[in-house]
Structure 1
Amino acid sequence: MRVGLLTREYPPDVYGGAGVHVEFLARELSALVDLAVHSWGEGRADGVVRHRPWSALDGANDALRTFSVDLAMAAGLEDRELVHSHTWYANLAGHFAKLLHGVPHIMTAHSLEPLRPWKAEQLGGGYALSSWAERTAIESADAVIAVSGAMREDILGCYPALDKDRVHVVHNGIDTALYRPDPATDVLERIGLDLERPYVLFVGRITRQKGVDHLLRAVRGIDPAAQVVLCAGAPDTPEIDREFRELFQELGHARAGLHWIPQMLPRGEVIQLLTHAAVFVCPSVYEPLGIVNLEAMACGTPVVASRVGGIPEVVAHGESGLLVDVDDDFEKSLATALDTVLADPAAGRRMGTAGRARAVGEFGWDAIARRTARLYGDVLEQA
């Protein structure tokens, strides 16, 4: 079975959950199918073909530049029997390949443009183009993979013309041999953390979706003994970056022990930070699954997260962490939940142990790749 996997992010250029998903899915799928990965970037090696936006569009709207990559990807898929795209950045490439080469197109929805209206702030008129690309691809795909049950409901709600029998749930996964507790503390010491004080950890992009602004306001009043560590970068727009910096500066005047790491850290360093955190926090206002919560759980760390999208399918409330409703009291409730975990380290350790067991038992990438390959076979049989 010759499969083309289409993505914007692929190592070493991974900045979000979709990129992590594709990286590990490709690793496992390569043992099950003849896999060719097409991603953004430069060069060609080891089954990976990289494409860059056309130079004629340098300085143009990002959506137009994305479409130029999609056209290049589609042109390079003539030897594939099936194509599988991830995110709107590659969905149109899958749709074009379906039409051009007469092959089935499967797409994985990691998020949905209609549920991310703040993207208009980033893309301008390109948001209308990204929304059109997603709708065109999703309504024409031979199968759609949702990364959670909640995501499946969102897909069918946003795209009612889609046949519900074509939408399949295959969860995100986690490599629990890689993401596991790391007892070393050299990274913490280099950052300047006080090893005698607990810390709250956030890892994610500076974007409306991730709710970083809510977190910065919520932690103003939490236990002053706790440090706050923000691994936060890749702001969507200069305006969002400026807003984050202003809130961070205000927070710095209100409490000590505040650390901001704006650059992408190597995975091993993130694992060490996750391991030693008293609590990991995910304040997203929209999250189809939230793979970063799985990463924290696999490292044995309790999670405080918003009760949105697929997060409740990952974080078991009261067992592996605490869930908070995104409502008018969101920031206050977030602070209360963080203080609850910080005040009872023994309970936090129990939740961390339960989270690790849940990640190992239910979210292994090998099983997810097998389910994905089975879907490929089913789609090809029906084609």
Structure 2
Amino acid sequence: MKTLLLTNEYPPNTYGGAGVHVEYLSRELAKLMQVEVRCFGEQCSENGSLKVRGVPLAGKEIGAPKPLHSVFGAIQRSADMSGMGVDADLVHCHTWYTHWGGILSKLAYGVPLIITTHSLEPLRPWKREQLAGGYDFSLWVEKTALEMADAIIAVSEGAKADVLKHFQVPEDRVHVIHNGIDLQEFRKVESHEALVRYGVPVDQPYVLFVGRITRQKGIQYLIQALQYVDPDIPVVLCAGAPDTPAIAAEIREAIDMVKMHRGQIYWIQEMLDKPNLIEIY
């Protein structure tokens, strides 16, 4: 059996949870079957039963306004993902960015379409400030893909309920598979190099946030709630890759306001690599 995974994120170009999910999913599936990952970028590797092929824009010029670049880029690369030919037994899409490729693959090659929903576009109306009119396309392509998919994977019972609420999908087509963690990799380490480098106390517990600066992660609510947290407890915010300059400025202003009333807030604005993240966890 062979599975084709379509994703916008894949190492080393990973900035969010979906990319991490696909990295580990592809690795584990490759222990059971042939797996090909097609992703946005220029990655190219083959290791046993796992093959990775990046799909670049290939010099194609996008003349649309900047907020629409990611939308038209996604359309082009998703079409290219399918146009490369599909010899897999099924295609498995992650995030709306690749749903167009999944739709084309199902229609053109007759392969079953599987979609994992990491989040849903109807629940992210603030994306309009990031994508402008492109948000309407993301809504449409997600709805089209989910309602024609042969199976949908939701990462929780709540996510399944959201799918059933917002889309015309039979309940028996939606399956819950929770996200997991590699306990051999994510375990306590003795090193404190990352904590020391960022000035975080190594001898006491702290509140930790790890994620992109995006409204769906809820970092804005955490920052608002810090006024109710014991000021003697350090707060570590591993938060970078803002969706827009506007939300970046909003979060910066909110953190500056909180710092006027309490100390021990450590904001790490870069996206940390895995060894540093494991240490901070």
Task: Bin the TM-score by the shorter chain.
Answer: over 0.9
**In the alignment, which residue of structure 2 is the partner of 1:324?**
none
Number of the residue aligned with 1:128:
136
Q: CA deviation at 1:220?
A: 2.3
CA distance in 1, matches of 2:175, 2:205: 41
Alignment-derived partner of residue 106 in structure 1 = 114
Letter in 1 for 2:181: I
What does residue 57 of structure 1 align with? 62
Q: Look up the match of 2:273.
A: 266
Q: Which amino acid aligns with 2:53?
A: V
Question: Partners in 2 of 1:21 and 1:153 — Cα distance?
Answer: 21
1:247 maps to what in 2?
Answer: 254
Q: Relative to structure 1, is the Cα distance of residues 58 and 257 closer, same or farther in structure 2, using a 3 angstrom cutoff?
A: farther
1:138 pairs with one of 146, 151, 172: 146
Tell me, yes or no, if the aligned pair for 1:252 and 1:258 is still in contact at 8 Å: yes
Aligned residue pair count: 273
For 1:120 and 1:215, the matched residues in 2 are separated by 23
Give the counterpart of 1:191 among 187, 198, 201.
Answer: 198
In 2, are the aligned partners of 1:198 and 1:225 still within 8 Å (CA)? no
Letter in 2 for 1:143: A
TM-score (norm 1): 0.69
Instruction: Give the match's secondary structure for 1:50.
Output: strand
Counterpart Cα distance in 1 of 2:10 and 2:205: 34
Alpha-carbon distance between aligned partners in 1 of 2:110 and 2:23, rounded to the nearest angstrom = 27
Gaps of 5+ in 1: 275-383
Q: Distance in 2 between matches of 1:39 and 1:96?
A: 16
Partner of 1:15: 15
Structure 2 equivalent of residue 157 of structure 1: 165
**How far apart in 2 are the matches of 1:141 and 1:108?**
10
Q: Cα RMSD (Å) of the superposition? A: 1.4
Q: Distance in 2 between matches of 1:129 and 1:216?
A: 32
Contact 1:10 1:39 in 2 (8 A): yes
Partner of 1:216: 223
The residue that corresponds to 1:332 in the other structure is: none
Q: Which amino acid aligns with 1:178?
A: E
Structure 2: 5+ residue stretches without partners: none
> Residue 126 and residue 257 in structure 1: after superposition, are their counterparts in 2 closer, same or farther (change >3 A)?
same
Aligned-residue offset at 1:59? 5.8
Partner amino acid, structure 1, of 2:271: M
Q: 1:253 to 1:59 in 2, by over 3 A?
A: farther
The residue aligned with 2:185 is 178
Q: Work out whether residues 6 and 39 of structure 1, in 8 Å CA contact, stay in contact via their aligned partners in 2.
A: yes
For 2:21 and 2:85, the matched residues in 1 are separated by 21
* Residue 9 of structure 2 corresponds to residue 2 of structure 1: no
What is the alpha-carbon distance in structure 1 between the residues aligned to residue 63 and residue 10 of structure 2? 22
Q: Quote the Cα distance in structure 2 between the aligned partners of 1:250 and 1:53.
A: 41
Q: Deviations over 1:82-138 (max 9, x none)?
A: 111111011111111011111111111111111111111111101000011101111
Matches within 5 A, 1:86-97: 86-97=94-105
Shift of 1:67: 0.7
Secondary structure of the corresponding residue to residue 57 of structure 1: coil
2-structure distance, mates of 1:79, 1:42: 21
Q: Is the 8 A contact 1:197 1:225 kept in 2?
A: no
> In 1, Cα distance between the equivalents of 2:15 and 2:31?
25
State percent identity of aligned pairs: 47
Write out per-residue CA displacement over residues 323-352 of structure 1, whole angstroms, 9 at most, x where no aligned residue: xxxxxxxxxxxxxxxxxxxxxxxxxxxxxx
1:227 corresponds to which of 234, 240, 249: 234
Find the aligned partners of 1:255 and 1:234 in 2 and give their Cα distance: 25
Is the counterpart of residue 37 in structure 1 residue 37 in structure 2? yes
Return the offset for 1:194.
Answer: 2.5
- What SS class does the counterpart of residue 254 from structure 1 fall into? coil
Look up the match of 1:340.
Answer: none
Task: List structure 1 runs of 4+ shifted beyond 4 angstroms.
Answer: none
CA–CA distance in structure 2, aligned partners of residues 80 and 111 of structure 1: 26
Alpha carbons of 1:184 and 1:59: their partners in 2 closer, same or farther (altered >3 Å)?
farther
Q: How does 1:335-350 map to 2 (within 5 A)?
A: none
Provide Cα deviations, 1:26-80, integer angstroms capped at 9, x if missing partner: 0010121111100010142211111123522266512121111110101123222
Give, in whole Å, the separation in 1 of the partners of 2:252 and 2:102.
38
Alpha-carbon distance, 1:166 to partner = 1.2
Letter in 1 for 2:122: P
Contact 1:53–1:66 under 8 Å retained in 2: no
Change (3 A) 1:58 1:8: farther
